[in-house]
Amino acid sequence: MNIDPKKLANIIILFNFIIGFSAIVVQVYASTTNVSDYKDKQAVTDLIGVGLVTLSASISVTGSCIAAGIALRSVASSGFAAAVEKPELKSYMFIIGGLAEGIAIYGLLIAIMILGKI
């Protein structure tokens, strides 16, 4: 079975982009409520603050997922090219791919830290 590295890398980037975009949609949907129900200005200000915090957390996740996809694209294309010449390098490709996925984990941790401040 022959796998084109560029197609695989594009699928990984698309998958990470879908995850990041869905994080934005969920966070924005979760932070929207009916503002006209609040009588005092402090409650509206708190609601806007919570919306900005959730938006910043979702941007953190989205940016890190896109960056992880770009990093995985480079790792996959160069790793498959190296594995063709030396098959014993396949395990190193998986290790470096895991390190590239760590970028997405860091974005998720930052988002959790941001949401923990609410």
**What pLDDT does residue 79 have?**
84
The string of DSSP codes covering 75-92 is HHHHHHHHHHH-GGGHHH
pLDDT at 101 over 70: yes
pLDDT at 104 over 70: yes
**What pLDDT does residue 103 have?**
87
Residue at 108 is within a domain: yes
Residue at 45 is within a domain: yes
Report which of 14, 111, 2 is spatially closest to residue 72, judged by C-alpha positions.
14
Q: How confident is the model at residue 76 (pLDDT cuts 50, 70, 90)?
A: confident
Kindly state the average pLDDT of the residues 37-51. 59
Number of domains in the chain: 1
Task: Check if the beta carbon of residue 89 is closer than 8 Å to that of residue 31.
Answer: no
Kindly state the average pLDDT of the residues 28-54. 61
Average pLDDT score over the chain:
76
7 or 102, greater pLDDT: 102
Residue at 55 is within a domain: yes
Residue at 35 is within a domain: no
Residue at 62 is within a domain: yes
